[in-house]
Structures are given as structure tokens and as C-alpha cells.
Structure 1
């Protein structure tokens, strides 16, 4: 006879399993948050500020892009009119879009590769020399008189450095108005921006190269890595993917958001809008004409361009080392 107060273990186990309810996605997330509550508390100040001063303005700008808003009257919904006007009626925006894409296509990749190349070379130097060379390469990006120097170089009279040198060599007879001639404006701005591009991305690459585990090179030699280029592709670059991503975002954002160089060298507006970019067009409508709805449409287009390009670059960088 079986004891009535005892259950067969084979039937008891399934009953216990059936009594446990599966956790929902919300309950699992809540448990994870409770387990990491200290991390969330430390991140809270940054996330609050980031939401208030970055996420919220972007959302508001996208909403305003569908309105007519002149800073005096309450925004009036106009649907897609701002975007229709932007792409079908605003010829200057199309010039600005072409200039921005050309500028980004040239300065973005070149400055990115130059930042990494210089960082890779400087990283091979001794500690003191490395610190000195890092300062030398980073200094132009924080210099306050950088535009004044280039204005002296490309001054339109014969006392300008470039004109004086070319006249002395007999290449030209009369001074050239470098920053007033449409054909020369964009190449000069690209040159200056490339010179200024060794900034935050350059420092990120230096930091990334410093954190690569040296034992990986020894392990790579055992596994068949024979030269510096193989070390670079299979060990160095995969080890510093976060810095590569960060540098790509910084360089692309800088190349798309160019405005200061254009305004300082070519004026505002430039000759025949030769140096007009999306950001200078945005400044024109946002801070001069106060057409905030139309300016928000320009900002939204620029935001979509930046995000789309960054997603493509990040996808390409994930293949590094494969």
C-alpha cells in the first residue's frame, strides 16, 4: 500500500515545474534594472541632460519642420510645404547640398585616414616625443587665430603669402583674388578643413593604440602573422573598434557640419554661393530671416544625412579584421 500523505517523485516534479510562471519581458527588465540600480543612478544626470539638450531639441525641430514659425506667431501647421519648397524651389539649397556632399566625400575619408596614420606613426615614438608630437598635431584644432593665418596666406593683394611667392617665382604677374574667385574657394576651404581635422578623432586613435594588449602581437606571431600590415589588420584595428567608431562619427559629423571655415574665409554669403553649405543655409534662415519652420526642415535633412552616413560607416567598420 502507498502512503496517502506522500507523492510519487515522478509526478511531483512536473507539478512543481508547472506551478512556476514564465517571466514576462517587462518583469525581466525590471529585475535587471533593480540589479544594476547603482549604475543607472550614476548615469541618470548625463541621461537627463542628454535628453533635455539633445534628444528633445531634435524631436522639436522635426515637429517644427512641418509648420510655419517666424518666432512671433504661434507655429502653424503646413504639412510638407517646407520640404517641397526646399527641394523644388530653393536653388541655393541644392547648391549647398552639392557642396556639403562634395566636402564630406573628400574631407571625411581623407581626414579619418590621416588621423589614424599620424596616430599610428606617433604611437611608435618614445613617451616624451609622443606627447610633444601629439600636442603639435592637435594644436591647430584648438588654435583661435587659425583663420587669420590662412587669410594672410590667401590674401588677394600682392602682400599675401601665396601671391607674393608666385609673383616672385614668375608664375603669375598680377595677384589672384583667391577667396573671391569661385573656382578657388572650395579647394581652399577643403585644404583648411583637412589641416584642422587632427582633433578629437586623432586623440581617440592615440588612446586606442595605447590600450592594445601587447601580448596579442606575440600570439599573432605564433598564429602566422608575419609583418606589420598583418598586425595592423588582424590585431590592432579589431582591438580598437570602439575608438574607430568614435573617430568615424566625429570626422563625418565635422565634415557635414562645416560652416565656420566657410564663413571666416569666403564670407557670408560667399561669391555665387560657391562655399554655401547646408549649415550656412540653416544659419541664414534660422538666425537672419527667423523662418524657424523652414530652418527646421533644413536641420532635419542634415540630421538624416548624418545618421544614414554614420550607419553605413559603422556597418563597414564591423568588417575590419575579417
Structure 2
């Protein structure tokens, strides 16, 4: 009877497993509520016709069919603009972050800290900086810094409407995005370079390493793959989710003749201006798939098997 009344004791492994689960439980709940549930709701909403007033009506895949067959703005403007923007700003900002992080790692601590803060600051003040700085630089009148400089040099005869011209707006968006691309991915790369054991470089030069380029290829990059992966994922997410930049520069959504329209803007246009929530959800699902695809490619390039 005494043995039957005794409760089974948990072994050490079971206790550690339980404690680990309890430790992860808040994160699991938050991830489920704020990530998994919204994604599932967006997928479900993308299969409906919903104007935020009437009850949603299921239309199955009609939104996706319309998106790829009848939405000329998406296929001729939005998707090409997004791909161009992503191919330039994503890899460009990523390479720039790594290069500047490596350069800063070569200088003493105090100037490195100051320069790191200077380079990181634009990513924290993008909205304010675009409204105050870049709109003044690219202003379409003679007072604009760029127009004023070009007029004084005799390169143009009259002011150019930089922010209202379909010919220039996407290029300006790319320049501004590259300027503000040194965010947390840059800091991650800087910490990765600084944490590499200096003895590895010394041993490599003894074994026949000849120059800094070989140092980067054979030691720096392989030793900081986790930081490289983190920077790549951050670059992918920030690039594909960009959209406010075009609206803030031009002051309108959609941008002039859709020249600076990205997928993010297309979602805002249909979701919060035209109130076609079902269609906007379908576009957001396509954006999610694009981000997942490119993130997966980044993981294959910089992920480890550990």
C-alpha cells in the first residue's frame, strides 16, 4: 500500500525539460498571438471579398487570379519596382554594412565607437531625415540644393521636379534607402568582426596567408556566418517591407504614375484607401512568400549545420 500511494518522482531530465518549456512558454504564446495567428488570418482573409463594412464573402482564389492576370499596375509597375529596389538596396546595403564594419574594426576603440554611432544614426531617424533633409535636397524649385547646384554649374537650364518625375523617383528612393541601410544588421556584423580571435589571423599568416583579401575570404567571413545570416535576413525584411519612403518623399500614395510604388504601397492602397481588405491580404501573402523565399536562400548561403 505504501508503494502504491507514493507519487512517481521526476528525474533530472524531466525536470529540466519542464523548466525549459516553462521558460519558453511566454515566447511561444507571444509568437503565436502576434505572428502565427495574424498570418493565418491574412491567408484566410485573402480568400474573401471584404470591404471592412459588410461581412466577408468567400471567393476562394479569385483575388490571386486577379492579381496575376488583371492587375496591370501590380505586374507592370509594382512587382518590377519591388524587384529592382530589392536587388539594389538589399545586396548593396548588405555589402556596404559588411565593408564598413570591417573597416571600423581596423581602427582604435574610441574613433570606432564614434564612427559607428554616426553611421548607425540615419537608420534611427529615417522618417524625420527624409521629411527634413532629402525633400529639401531634391526640392523641385530653385531653392532645392541639388537644383541650385546644377543651375550654378550650368548643367541644367531650369529646375527639375525630382520627386514628382517618374524618371527619377525610384532612383532617389534607392539612394535614400542605401543611406539609411546601416541598421542593426550593421551592428551585428561589427560585433562579429570584433569577436574573431586575433590568433586565427596570426596562425593563418604563418601558414601562408598573403593579404587582407585572403584574410576576409578565408577567415573573417567563415568565422562570422551567424552575423552574416542575421544581417542578410534583416536586409531582406527591411527591403521588402519598405514603402513609406516613397510616400514620404513624394507626399502621395500612390506615387506619381506608380513609378515608386512597391508591394508595401500596393497593400496600403487597396487596404486603407480603397478598403478592399481581401485583395490587400492576398498581396500581403505574396509579399510574405517572397520574404520567406529570399530568407531561405540567405540561410542556405550563410547558415551553419551546427
**Normalised TM-score (structure 2):** 0.90
Structure 1, 36-45 or 89-98: larger mean CA deviation: 36-45
* Structure 2: gaps (5+ residues): 1-11
- Decide whether aligned partners of structure 1 residues 32 and 315 sit closer, same or farther in structure 2, where only a CA change above 3 A counts: farther
* Partner residue, 1:298: 283
Counterpart Cα distance in 2 of 1:141 and 1:309: 22
| 1:69 corresponds to 2:69 | no
Aligned with residue 146 of structure 1, among 106, 129, 145: 129
Work out whether residues 33 and 40 of structure 1, in 8 Å CA contact, stay in contact via their aligned partners in 2.
no
Q: Larger radius of gyration, structure 1 or 2?
A: 1
Corresponding residue for residue 127 of structure 1: 109
Partner of 1:7: none
Alignment RMSD: 1.7
Counterpart CA distance in 1 for 2:20 and 2:205 is 40
Deviation at 1:296, TM superposition (A): 0.8
Q: Trace 1:301-312 onto structure 2 (pairs within 5 A).
A: 301-312=286-297
1:174 to 158, 164, 168: 158
Q: What 5-or-longer segments of structure 1 have no aligned partner?
A: 1-30
Moved more, 128-137 or 42-51: 42-51
* CA displacement at 1:307 relative to structure 2: 0.6
Partner residue of 1:316?
Answer: 301
8 Å contact 1:253–1:306 — kept in the other structure?
yes
Scaled by the length of structure 1, the TM-score of the pair is: 0.86
CA contact (8 A) 2:173 2:246 kept: yes
Q: How many residues align?
A: 289
Shift of 1:74: 2.6
Change beyond 3 A, Cα 1:37–1:127: farther
Measured in 2, the distance between the counterparts of 1:281 and 1:151 equals: 23
Provide closer, same or farther for how the CA distance between residues 174 and 131 of structure 1 changes in structure 2, counting only shifts above 3 A.
same
Distance across 1 between alignment mates of 2:61 and 2:105? 51
